[in-house]
Structure 1
Amino acid sequence: MVNNMTDLTAQEPAWQTRDHLDDPVIGELRNRFGPDAFTVQATRTGVPVVWIKREQLLEVGDFLKKLPKPYVMLFDLHGMDERLRTHREGLPAADFSVFYHLISIDRNRDIMLKVALAENDLHVPTFTKLFPNANWYERETWDLFGITFDGHPNLRRIMMPQTWKGHPLRKDYPARATEFSPFELTKAKQDLEMEALTFKPEEWGMKRGTENEDFMFLNLGPNHPSAHGAFRIVLQLDGEEIVDCVPDIGYHHRGAEKMGERQSWHSYIPYTDRIEYLGGCVNEMPYVLAVEKLAGITVPDRVNVIRVMLSELFRINSHLLYISTFIQDVGAMTPVFFAFTDRQKNLRSGGSNHWFPYAPGVVPYWRRSARPAARLGSPAA
């Protein structure tokens, strides 16, 4: 039995701070761009982190994409407010940064590119010319940080309403409603909101019609029995034929990152359950693993087995929901009841969906009568 957190702080080699200078891609980048063209950051991410100049971004991205064993997948792209960061020795000066997480399938390796930005010059070229899926990532980064991606085909808000003021993930943006002035809904504000809801096809990359007739536009969602989730699809119809559609997301954005700014490492764990509210404790796993990696904590095999077992139970639950509702969409009802009966059996944990059995370094001791806060950080079972 593990008696305290001190017993679990042994460093594993894979979790030590490394610069990954021995990774072949670092040598390839130096051969192409020179040894002083970028800065390699030592981290515990487990992948090379390379700071490059804004002017080099597209050239470096294109180079990585065309290597013999290329980096063909843009896995993630987002911004960071670096203004309160400490321990910046050896790193470029940055008020904000944008990171690009690329994956090479052939190499089975990742790399992260980072671009430093000054607060008075938050501009970076769009990555959509190399990776089309950067489109929504860049819209989200502009929406939440105010970083402009020059050349983006449709740089507009994607998570927040079009009338929203400011960029919420900046560190100087209030994290609680009580930090704002009292809200007052005036007639002018009502008119502004109604005008913002007016559908303008041109803003969505759609035409209003042909030379002979106008198109019809219909909303599928955000609340519709066939739209599994709170999202909207704008349908463009020519008669009864759907000729185009555009998805519209952000109706369930919870601001989880902003809430995390006011939480401790432990108290944030229950919030991860709400990221995907049907996944139960599955979302706790990557969060707790990340905290353990940062802290250099190694857990016993028994903890890993319990975590995987619980995650698998909720994975089965998610598949039961997905399969049964898919079958329901094609007209069958009986399988839904069978699937939900099995889901109820699976969820007989005493805590239903949200009982967060994870904590950094331990499996929290849990009783039916215990409050959530009482079991966080408790000794391992």
Structure 2
Amino acid sequence: MPESIAAELSSRFGDSTFLPQTTRDETPTFWTPQEKIVAVLQFLKSEIQMPYRMLYDLTAIDERAYKRPENGHKPYDFTVVYTLFSFDRNAFLRLKVGLYGEYPSLESITPIWTAANWYEREVYDMFGIKFNGHPLLKRILMPTTWEGHPLRKEHPARATEMGPFKLYDEKVDREQEALRFKPEEWGLKRHSEDADFMFLNIGPQHPGTHGVLRIILQLNGEDIVDAVPDIGFHHRGAEKMGERQSWHTYIPYTDRIDYLGGVNNNLAYLLGVEKLGGIDVPLRAQVIRVMLCELFRIASHLVWYGTFAQDLGQLSPVFYMFTDRERIFEIIEAICGGRMHPNWFRIGGVAQDLPNGWDQLVKNFISYFPRQLKEYDNMVMKNYLFKARTKGIGVYTLEEAIDWGVTGPGLRACGMEWDMRKKRPYGGYENFAFEIPVAHNGDCYDRAVVRVEEMRQSLRIIEQCLAYMPAGDYKSHHPLATPPVKAHTMKDIETLIHHFLNVSWGPVIPAGEAMSCTEATKGWNSYYLISDGNTAAYRVRVRTPSFPHMQMIPLISRGYTVADLLSILGGMDYVLADIDR
């Protein structure tokens, strides 16, 4: 496949245009001249056979502190990285553009993918790279008054590297003024020919936004003319923390990104680390991981299910569904010792083997939960008012979904039978039988239909884990698997020293780069990791599903009412930390 796309690009743009790069994840990767990147991306999206229709990710790397191995790595100051996906080819493609200078610039690709808007704003915010022709290049995650660009290497990573924080009255006034919404700055008019528009703040303390999210609505009466999502209130610098922690000690930080998805976050990160380290995970550890991921998928969907019904006026479901979520957490706690954030996956496997009695707990849940789902169908999905509030609301087509980077249930609700666990299996999912639920209307109701059926399919997977749990190791014996199995440390001094170093100092992961992509609870989640042969990552990029989904809010809310917006937000199933990182 890399040879195929290389030949197609060379035949169009010339042999000397693209410099290939070898990566540990074997994703075709090419360095592309700055002056040709827009034409190349336009060709890949709409002109090439079996096109790359989705802009999966757009990010950057500060190259200035990179320990340059002898692998042809160019001494650029910054690199902008475009990751595309083709459903026809079932393949990712990575293009890189090297830039020189303290604050370089590049042409915007928003005319090709509107979804590039937020990604380019994020690169500008985090790195100071400008995109010429961008419709509104301003900060997106950091406050507009922030000084510096956090993912540049010279920016402090810890509060102890900065001076003490002081909140003067002048600073309070400046910050409050910066939060004032000025419609003209966003290209919005205050008046139409026959009416004055009203601007309404929803959030950041509104229960309907499920967290610290602010959406400013431009209203004509009750009808939404336009919407401006204001994100970043939950930003904690997850990527920056990944570059200061060791490969091992960063694992618990991943738990807190999609904080409802639990170990699904660990898995997405660890698959990338294991690709870089060449670590094979034992079959038993794979099955344990899959079982816990699917338990967390059900737990996450139950939170969405109950709160969605609550947003639309039903009070009872959230109590029943949170009670069932507690049953799942009892299993998680018995196995892992923790509940929402068990931090239980490790490099090369899991922290411990399954405890005695785990199988009976799982068996009890499998026999109990199907009748609960049936009860919830009668209570919610068949409810007349629930249908009236969700059918035909927040509609988008399959083409729009792909163009905006929608993944997961939101994509499958448009008729696309695509699940990464099936189409690009990872972590042992190729060993399990399950179906991909789909719907066809692309509205809030169909997104609910897909998620409800996904819980039934997750039960099928968990049942197979219970029936066919293999014997064997729960962790790899690879020297980079961290930490080594504790029992072995009591047998010889070399293993004890290795255990001590791998925990306190961290494993030294070989230089290279790799991306993992998983089907998380809300869509595709991936970690793009770059190592320069050190005990910490040189660059950690977290691509979350909720970020592009939230960017789509203005498109799918125009023409609806304020009440419909709560249906749209509830049906989306986002998590604020998954947006802001």
TM-score, scaled relative to structure 2: 0.59
Q: Could you list the per-position Cα deviations for residues 136-160 of structure 1 after superposition, in whole angstroms to 9, with x for gaps in the alignment?
A: 0000010000000000001001000
Q: Structure 2 stretches of 5 or more lacking a match?
A: 356-481, 488-581
1:44 aligns with 2:24: yes
Work out which structure has the larger RCO, using CA pairs closer than 8 Å and 6 or more positions apart in sequence. Answer: 2
1:261 aligns with 2:243: yes
| Contact 1:364–1:378, Cα closer than 8 Å, also in 2 | no
Q: 1:327 deviation in Å?
A: 1.2
357-366 or 108-117, larger mean C-alpha shift: 357-366
| Contact 1:254–1:275, Cα closer than 8 Å, also in 2 | no
Residue equivalent to 1:5 = none
Determine what percentage of the aligned residue pairs are the same residue.
54
Residue equivalent to 1:249 = 231
Q: Could you list the per-position Cα deviations for residues 265-295 of structure 1 after superposition, in whole angstroms to 9, with x for gaps in the alignment?
A: 1110000000111111110001011100000
Residue equivalent to 1:362 = 349
Q: Could you list the per-position Cα deviations for residues 90-139 of structure 1 after superposition, in whole angstroms to 9, with x for gaps in the alignment?
A: 23331111000011111111110000011335111001111110000000
1:377 aligns with 2:358: no
Residue equivalent to 1:74 = 55
Q: Structure 1 stretches of 5 or more lacking a match?
A: 1-19, 369-375
Residue equivalent to 1:286 = 268
Partner SS state of residue 226, structure 2: strand
Amino acid in the other structure paired with 2:106: V
Q: 1:228 deviation in Å?
A: 2.1
Residue equivalent to 2:503 = none
| Contact 2:151–2:240, Cα closer than 8 Å, also in 1 | yes
Q: 1:378 deviation in Å?
A: 4.7
Residue equivalent to 1:14 = none
Distance in 1, matches of 2:288 and 2:354, equals 16
| Contact 1:158–1:249, Cα closer than 8 Å, also in 2 | yes
Q: After superposition, where does 1:94-243 map in structure 2 within 5 Å?
A: 94-120=76-102, 122-210=104-192, 213-243=195-225
Distance in 1, matches of 2:265 and 2:344, equals 11
Q: After superposition, where does 1:20-35 map in structure 2 within 5 Å?
A: 21-22=2-3, 24-35=4-15
Amino acid in the other structure paired with 1:208: R
Q: Could you list the per-position Cα deviations for residues 206-259 of structure 1 after superposition, in whole angstroms to 9, with x for gaps in the alignment?
A: 112235653221111112111123211101122343322111111111211111
| Contact 2:31–2:96, Cα closer than 8 Å, also in 1 | yes
Distance in 2, matches of 1:30 and 1:110, equals 18
Q: Could you list the per-position Cα deviations for residues 304-336 of structure 1 after superposition, in whole angstroms to 9, with x for gaps in the alignment?
A: 100000000000001111111111122212211
Cα separation, partners in 2 of 1:366 and 1:108, compared to 1, 3 Å: closer
Cα separation, partners in 2 of 1:268 and 1:366, compared to 1, 3 Å: farther
Partner SS state of residue 237, structure 1: strand
Q: Could you list the per-position Cα deviations for residues 154-204 of structure 1 after superposition, in whole angstroms to 9, with x for gaps in the alignment?
A: 100100001000000111100111111222323332232122122210122
| Contact 1:49–1:112, Cα closer than 8 Å, also in 2 | yes
Residue equivalent to 2:37 = 57
Amino acid in the other structure paired with 2:344: P
> Which of 48, 61, 64 is residue 83 of structure 1 equivalent to?
64
Distance in 2, matches of 1:380 and 1:136, equals 45
| Contact 1:143–1:157, Cα closer than 8 Å, also in 2 | yes
Cα separation, partners in 2 of 1:91 and 1:266, compared to 1, 3 Å: closer
Distance in 2, matches of 1:45 and 1:364, equals 25
Distance in 2, matches of 1:213 and 1:32, equals 52
Amino acid in the other structure paired with 1:279: G
| Contact 2:255–2:341, Cα closer than 8 Å, also in 1 | yes
Cα separation, partners in 2 of 1:21 and 1:325, compared to 1, 3 Å: closer
179-188 or 287-296, larger mean C-alpha shift: 179-188
Distance in 2, matches of 1:115 and 1:232, equals 34
How big is the alpha-carbon RMSD for the aligned residues of Structure 1 and Structure 2? 1.9
Q: 1:361 deviation in Å?
A: 0.9
Residue equivalent to 2:308 = 326
Q: Which has the higher helix share?
A: 2
Distance in 2, matches of 1:57 and 1:253, equals 30
> Which of 332, 337, 340 is residue 353 of structure 1 equivalent to?
340
TM-score, scaled relative to structure 1: 0.89
Amino acid in the other structure paired with 2:183: P
Partner SS state of residue 226, structure 1: helix
**Paired residues, what number?**
354
Amino acid in the other structure paired with 1:379: V
Distance in 2, matches of 1:156 and 1:330, equals 34
Q: 1:76 deviation in Å?
A: 0.3
Q: 1:357 deviation in Å?
A: 1.5
Residue equivalent to 1:7 = none
Distance in 1, matches of 2:70 and 2:236, equals 31
Cα separation, partners in 2 of 1:136 and 1:230, compared to 1, 3 Å: same
Residue equivalent to 1:9 = none
238-247 or 129-138, larger mean C-alpha shift: 238-247
Distance in 2, matches of 1:306 and 1:178, equals 39
Distance in 1, matches of 2:202 and 2:169, equals 29
Partner SS state of residue 55, structure 1: helix
Distance in 1, matches of 2:166 and 2:319, equals 47
| Contact 2:77–2:102, Cα closer than 8 Å, also in 1 | no
Distance in 1, matches of 2:2 and 2:50, equals 18
| Contact 2:63–2:75, Cα closer than 8 Å, also in 1 | no
Partner SS state of residue 307, structure 2: helix
